[in-house]
Structures are given as structure tokens and as C-alpha cells.
Amino acid sequence: MTPTATLEPETVFTPPALPIPTSAVTLTINGTPQTLQIAPWTTLLDALREYLDLTGTKKGCDHGQCGACTVLVNGKRINSCLTLAIMQEGAQITTIEGIAQTNTDAPNGLHPLQKAFIEHDAFQCGYCTPGQICSAVGLMNEGKAKSTADIRELMSGNICRCGAYTNIVDAIEDVMNQNPA
Amino acid sequence: MSAPIINNTIGKPISRVDGVDKVTGKAKYAAEFSVPDLAHGVVVSSAIAKGKIKKIDTGDALSLAGVLQIFTYENRPKLAWFDISYKDQDAPPGSPFRPLHNATIKYSGQPIALVVAETFELARYAASLVRVEYEEAAHETDLEANLHKGRKPKHGVADLLKPPPPKPRGDFEKAFADAPVTMNGRYVHAAEHHNPMEMFATTVVYETNDRLTIYDKTQGVTNSILYVSQVFNIPFKNLRVISPYIGGGFGSGLRPQYQLFMGVMAARELKRSVRVSLTRQQMFTFGHRPATVQNVALGALPDGTMNALYHDAMAETSQFEDYTEVVVNWGGMVYPTENVTLDYKLVPLDVYSPLDMRAPGGVTGMHALEVAMDELAYNLGMDPLQLRLKNYTDQDHNEKRPYSSKELRECFRQGAERFGWGSRNPEPRSMRKEHNLIGWGMATGIWEANQMPARAEAVLMVNGKLRVSSATADIGTGTYTIMTQIAADTLGMPIGDVMFKLGDTDMPIAPISGGSWTAATIGTAVQAACQAVGKTLLKLAKKMPGSPFKGAKWEDVDFANKQMRLKRDPSTTVSLQTLVDQNGGKAVREITGSMPNALKLKNYTRSTHSAVFVEVMVDEELGTVKVTRAVTAVAAGRILNPKTARSQILGGMVWGISKSLHEESVLDHTFGRFMNHNLAEYHVSVNADIHDLDVIFVDEHDEIVNPLGIKGLGEIGIVGMPAAVANAIFHATGKRVRDLPITLDKLL
């Protein structure tokens, strides 16, 4: 939300001048439980980036419109800007920093998708890339994509402004062909 | 026997050297540098487009524990007085916008306050409590309603890179009146916003003695440091700007954006490190591609020879700066028409100054011109490709000089062959698949091939590895990778032994990264710096006892396999490690500058060219358009890395599709505000919108443009696409849509 100063001051309520309330939140991220003391309205995305220095997860809109903040929660892809950190207690959260360790035969410490993204030049500026890769892992976990057109459709929640889409699809297909469902 | 050259990397599809950092999340962008005791700033934006702030009440926000300060025009520090201090390297003529300068509101979304708090969550909440009373004034944001205010742009240094239209040649009016075949049309496109994926952000690290280290999202750290130094009167020695990665630029980072100002101001006043990130909505509150209205009229003889060309453009600018772009000049460059009149005017509106956005002006003007060419071809009953070939030229008729190289004819040939253009039935609505109409269209693209002055450093370290640096940027273009290749090849080293660094004002100076000039500019500087190291190595070689290099000149040696060799006897070698060992335990370090060879270049126009072929499928009932396949054949001099180069062109093609079909910043003139200021309502192409894209690089040898023969690829991929898409839609539907984007309502 962009704060736009209101035109009608009299309609705004006066907030209490109290210290900002915080809660203890324990998140299991890439297999490691970590406890944070944060405002309850802190998003999972901001918890990762601002409080845990896990900046691989990107903020591109903060509104669930771009997919840059995609992470895996219990193996399912979600927009981490659209969930509060406190809602994810007890869940297994996987970010780009932990994606390689989810794959047992990761070559050179990279997930096959990470390797394929490099090989196919499936990114340019790199900002949407962690979200694209987490989303592609989620897509493969879902097992619904049966064709190139399916991959395009099911990856359309992740905007790549550099326009690497064709290479992204090539990279994902490459990995899916290595591990047919 | 000469040793085999195992490390000739230029021209090879090397994967990005920064790839691992980008796929693992290790690549750090401006908002991602971890700093202890960091405060967070959130910007408050104006709700009106024009007027004054009557009252700004920060009391409730300030009363929250943890809110550190709220900066407004009323309490901001004293800043530089003269406009010149606020002029950055991409500033158009005029008076640059100054954040928090006074109570005046010049455009909707103008930053009017910065709330700084202990946490981001608190700053964001507090920002929502800032209350502002305005005195509104009538605003004008509608280009079409204000065309009568069009006037010539003011002149300034920007003219050097963006020349005004040339004087008319011949007599257009007479030639057009006499021409047996003519067309004329009016072409309108909306404003667009760059919307790189990363939102603008600056992390300012406050250090002792008022020293600041600034992580900024910018397409040029030099531009940022100059701006901060001048505006805040801080000596360079107390400033360092760092930007190793930028999450997309497309021109948006060519000027310092206001979060840089805000972050520096807050850090200095609070004596604390501060981060300011803009929101996606605020990404619509600075520069944009200007809305533009164009008229084109063409006249031709029955055989297709064009003898009359008129092209005018009216573009919006702000009330405080005259942003210009080259919109109408291209026709005079691409076609050898004898009677040409070109005109370009600006309409000042109550908006922020427009800003260069991928192929600024080029994609705008070539859209209108190349749709007009298609219309002329139909009026002539001539194949659109044949019309272009009929009016082909190797001369730039605006400047009356030849192109340094121009393989556009070969682009047409190879592109048409790959696409299958030869089997096209020219009749509109002649191809159909179920309820879809299919159409084929083509267009020409052109962009300039510039080189700027720059400096680079090369260091052959005592461990025999090479470290090269320049304060340039890699905005996703592949600068890290291609500079590594150039350095490696210049000194005959493997890629793995070369490290290229960029984006730091402690490095040798480089210009902003834009205009497709980075490869040529920094490439030339990197090559020169590495050659300087090579020359020092030759001196060291000559000093070695019994050296076979005694008497050898620079021209007599080359480098391969981590060795220096005598060209006439390649078996005479000395390893670079041996040479650096002769340097008294020190690295061999050279910093050099490079400049375009103005004397040589002034006799030639340097351009990249493309031929674009597009197939669309239009749902006849729904009006939805899919670009099902597209071929772009590009002539852009030497291709350093076909993998990253192809990605550059693919990206440009996606931008072209996005511009043709989706992108439009919609102004509500009642409020004077861009209403679709988010990524759900400002449509850009997503994965499902993009189908088969094919890129051909046509061989083009150019010894004039620069020593490496590089022309740059950042813009040329987009330039021809919108016209090719529009022309394909005409072929599919028989409807000539001259405005962009071609949304379904325009086809129903």
C-alpha cells in the first residue's frame, strides 16, 4: 500500500500512542526453527528479508501480483507477501537459500532447476529468479503440467520483466524431462 | 608449431558468470544489504496533481513510540540552491524536480514526506497517519486536449545524443500532392512505466565522521554520487555508492530517483543508517515513456519508389523539464526519400518529467512509420517486404553520410526465409484456424550504436589471476560476462582466471548504462586496460636475462594459454605468471581511459538494424490477440556472447509484444493520476502471453564503430516489434489499428 495522504483529515481516527506490539513467532525455515519478536502484521516476506537476512526472496509488488516473493510452504508455492509470518508457525518453509538441499542429488550444490536456469539463460537481471525457481519446484510438485502450454499457463503468476519467459520454459522442461513424473 | 588457442571466448555462448549468485539468492540488490541499527523510511505521496500543501499534520504519526522523525518541506535541511546542483547525467533541459523543496505540488504522487521509524512495519503504519490539507489548483494531464499548446523543445546538452529533427529536404507538400499513391495516418500511444521487478530502494550506511556508503538502485553509480555530492554538499571522499546488481532498469535508473535523496537526507539528519524503499504504486510517481501523438504521410510512385515523407510527433513533458526523444528522425535515415518534412513538439502537462524507456523515441517513431509503410504497401498493392527493399539505402540521408555497416538486407533475407514470408497471401482475412484469424506482418527496426568515454582498471595479480573493474552496471544485460570474456581474450587467459567487478564509485569512472552503449563503451575501456597491462608485461619480458623478447614491439606479440608469445614464432613464449613474478612481488596494475574516435566516426552513421516478422492469431469473437510466433533478424556488429545476446533480443521482443498488446498507464484526468498503478492493472506480458520467439544474428563486420566492432543490443529487440504486430493484426482482421496498445476493444 502506498501511503497517500488523505484529503479529509477529520475522518481519520487518532491512534493510541503506545509502543508497537510484538509477538514471538517461531518459523521453520529451510529446516531450521528460528524465533522472532515481530509485529503480528509482519508478512512472511518481510520476516524473511528484514529480520532473518534471507534476502533471496524478493519483493516486487507486496500485493501478490508479481510472484517475486514465491516460497514453498509444506511443498506448496505461495506468495510470501500475502501471508503473515505468524500464520506460518509450524509449517516447513523453503526459500531459494534452501532449495538445493531439498534435492538429494543436487550437482555442485545446485538444484537441477538452478543449474538449468543458468544453462538456458533463464534470467537477466535475476530479481524474479528465486521466485521463478521456487514456483517451478512448486509446479513440479503439483504434477499438473503436461505440456509446454501448461507450463506457460502455470508459471504466469511469476512476472519476468526482462522477458526471459521462453528460456524459463525451456529450463523447466529440461528438468521435467530428466525426471518424468 | 603454434600453441592451440584454448581460450578464445569472444563469440562463444558462455553462461553468465553471475549466474550462480542469481539462482541461489546470493546476489544482493540495493535494499538487501544487512546493516546494524538500520532505520526504515516510508515516503508519503501527494493525493493531488497540482496546488499547495496548506497544512501537514504529523502529530499522530510522531506520537507513536519508535517513530524517529518525519521530514517534510517544513523541516528539511538546507540544500543546494541552484538548479545546476540537481542536474544528473540524464537531466533534460529545465529545472529538475526537488523533493521536499516547498509546499508546491507539481504532480500526483509527488513525495511530500518521509516517515522514519525503527521498523518497516511501524514506518508504514505511521505514514498512513500523516494528514495533509491541500489547496488544489486546476491541473492539465490530457495530452490530446492540449495539443494546441505544442511548442518546440528547449535546447540543451541532451541535443548531443537526441538531435532535433533535421531541416526539411526537397518539397514534401508538392511531392505528396503529385504522388500517385499515398497514405496518411494518426498514431497515438499511451504513457508507459518501466516497472522493473525490483522497486527503487536505497540503503544508506551512516559511518563515523559523516561518511556515507550508499547502496542504490541505479544504472550508474557515478550519477548517484554526483547528485548526492552536489545536492547535499558532501565531498566525494566522504561518499561511496555501490550497486553490484540492479533488478531491472530499462531506463528507469538513468536518473537518481527520490528514494536516494530521502535516504541520504534522513541518514545525515538522524546520524543513523536508513533504508528507503518505494512501493510498487510509487514506481508510477517518476519518469515514464511519454504519451505521444504522431502523424505520418507517405507518397510513392506506382513502382513503390517513395518520394514524399512527413512525420510529426507531439509528446508530453512536465511543466519543469523538456524531456525529448528522437521520434521522427528515423524515416529520414531509413528511407532515401527526396522530399521529407519532420517535426517534433512538446506539450507541457502537470505530470512528472518523462524518462528514457527502452528504445526511447525509436520504438515510438518506428511504430508509426512502419505501420505507415504497411499501409502504403497495401495502397500500392505491393508486398510490404518488397516495398522496403525497393527503398533500401546504405546512406543516412539526414546526415548525408554512409552507415559504418548495414546488413539490413541480409536481415530481411534471413528473417523472411526463417519465417516463411514468401508463402504469404497478401489478402487480409485470408488465413483462419477455427474461430481464429491468422495474420503475418513485418517491420524494420533501427537503433543507434554509440560509444561513450569510460575508464577501466586491469590488475594482473601476483597469483597470476586477472582482476578488471569499471564503475559501470549490469542491469541484466550481461556486462559481467562479456567484460570477463573481453578481458580473458585480450590477455589470453581462461574465463575462470578473470574476475570482473562493477558498480562501485571506488572503481574507475563509467557513464550511466543505457542507450545500448555499455558493451561498446566499457568493452573498449576493458580491452584498453588489459592491453596496457600487456604492454607492461612486455617491458618486464624484455628485462629478463637472455630474453627472446628483446627488441620485440607490442605489435610483435600476442597472448594465449596464459602466455605471451612472439607472433612470428609462437613457440617462443613466457607465462604471465613468470612475468608478474618479475615485478618485484607486486601486481601489474593499469588504469586507462577510452574515447570514441570522433574524427573517424564523424563521417559515418552507426546503427543497428533489424527485420521483424510476426504471426498473430486473433479470436474473431473475443478480439483477443496472441503473438504465436515471431522472428527477429538482427545486424548489430560483433556478437560477444550469443547466449546473453539472444536473451537481450528475446527480452526486447517480449517488450515489443507487451507494448503492442498490453502496456498503458491510464490517467484519470479528473484526478490527474495514473490509476492502474500496480502490476495487476498495468498489464505486462506474462509467460502465457509469449510463444515461439526466434532470433537470428546476421554477420556484420564493422571496423569503424569501435575497435571491437560492437554495436549494442539493449534496444534494437523492441524497435520493430510493435509495428510488426500491428501489421500482422491488419493482415489477420483487415482492421488497421494505429493506436497502442491494441486491446480487444479496438478489434471488436
Residue B482 burial (C-beta neighbours within 10 Å; 0-12, 13-18, 19+): buried
Distance from CA of A35 to the nearest CA of B (A): 17
Q: Which chain A residues have a beta carbon less than 8 Å from that of B476?
A: 123-126, 162
**0.90 cut: is pTM over it?**
yes
Query: What are the chain A neighbours of B475 within 8 Å (beta carbons)?
Result: 125
Q: Do B45 and A166 touch (CB under 8 A)?
A: no
The one-letter code for the residue type at B24 is: T
Q: Residue A63: its chain B contacts at CB < 8 A?
A: 280, 678-680
Q: Which residues contact B736 (CB under 8 A, 6 or more apart)?
A: B185, B371, B375, B730
- Lowest-pLDDT range of A6-20, B219-233, B271-285: A6-20
Query: What does the pLDDT look like over B600-641, one tens digit per residue?
Result: 999 999 999 999 999 999 999 999 999 999 999 999 999 999
Please indicate whether residue A156 or residue B598 has the higher confidence score (pLDDT).
A156
What Å distances lie between residue B293 and B113, B187, B214, B330, B672, CA to CA?
A: 35, 6, 40, 16, 19
Q: Judge whether A62 and A53 are in contact, CB under 8 Å.
A: no
Residue to substitute from A1, A2, A97, interface B, most B β-carbons within 10 A: A2
Going from the C-alpha of B430 to that of each of A34, A179, B201, B425, B438, the distances in angstroms are 64, 43, 51, 7, 8
Percent of chain B with pLDDT over 70: 99
Kindly state the average pLDDT of the residues B447-472.
97
Convert B590-600 to b/e letters by CB count within 10 Å (16 or more is b): bbbebebeeee
Q: What pLDDT is attached to residue A107?
A: 53
- Answer whether B311's CB lies under 8 Å from B294's CB: yes
Which of the residues B192, B198, B448, B715 is marked catalytic?
B715
Substitution target from B21, B58, B197 for chain A, most A beta carbons within 10 A: B197
Length of chain A: 181
Pairing of strands B588-594, B454-460: antiparallel
pLDDT range class, residue A19, cuts 50, 70, 90 = low
Residue B2 predicted with pLDDT over 50: no
Percent of chain B with pLDDT over 90: 97
Burial of A177 (0-12, 13-18, 19+ CB in 10 A): exposed
* d(C-alpha B354, C-alpha B479), whole Å: 26
Is B715 labeled as catalytic in the residue annotation? yes
Does B16 contact A121 at a Cβ distance shorter than 8 Å?
Answer: yes
Identify the CA nearest to B222 among candidates B529, B524, B521, B503: B503
Grid-cell match 600476442, residue found: B558
Amino acid at A151: I
Strand pairing report for B212-216 and B239-242: parallel
Residue A108: the pLDDT is 61
pLDDT of residue A11: 44
Average pLDDT over residues B673-694: 98
Given a cut of 50, is residue B413 above it in pLDDT? yes
What tens digit of pLDDT does each residue of A92-106 get?
Answer: 999 999 999 877 665
Grid coordinates representing B586?
607486486
Q: What is the CA radius of gyration of chain A?
A: 18
Distance of residue A75 Cα from the nearest chain B Cα, in angstroms: 18
Q: What is the pLDDT of residue A103?
A: 75
Interface residue of B687, B694, B721 to substitute, partner A, most A CBs within 10 Å:
B687
| Cβ-based neighbours of B562, under 8 Å, separated by 6 or more | B7, B464, B492, B493, B494, B497, B575, B576, B577
What is the pLDDT of chain B when averaged over all its residues?
Answer: 96
State the average pLDDT over residues B19-37. 97
The number of angstroms, rounded, from the C-alpha of B47 to the middle of its chain's C-alpha atoms is 30
Residue numbers in A near B692 (CB within 8 A) = 166
Inter-chain residue contact B64 with A20, CB threshold 8 Å = yes
Q: Which residue has the cell 517491420?
A: B443
* H/E segment holding residue A37: strand A32-38
Q: Tally the residues of chain B.
A: 748
A15: pLDDT strictly greater than 70: no
DSSP H helices in B128-192: 172-178
| Cβ contacts of A124 on chain B, cutoff 8 Å | 248, 476-478, 647-648, 651
Residues B555-575 have a mean pLDDT of 95
Reported as type and span, the H/E element at residue B565 is strand B563-566
pLDDT of residue B3: 38
Q: Which cell numbers hold the place of B262?
A: 530521502
Name which of B60, B127, B644 is nearest A121 (Cβ-Cβ). B644
Q: How far apart are CA B253 and CA B219, in angstroms?
A: 5
> Can you tell me whether residue B266 is helix, strand or coil?
helix
Please name every residue paired with B445 in a beta bridge, in sequence order, or none if there are none: B610
Mean of pLDDT values over B716-740: 98
B707-715 average pLDDT score: 95
**Amino acid, res. B114:** L
CA distance B44 to B75: 15
Residue with grid cell 478480439, as numbered in its chain? B623
Q: What is the pLDDT of residue B6?
A: 46
The secondary structure element, H or E, covering residue B262 is helix B258-270
Average pLDDT over every residue of A114-132: 98
What mean pLDDT do residues B692-706 have? 97
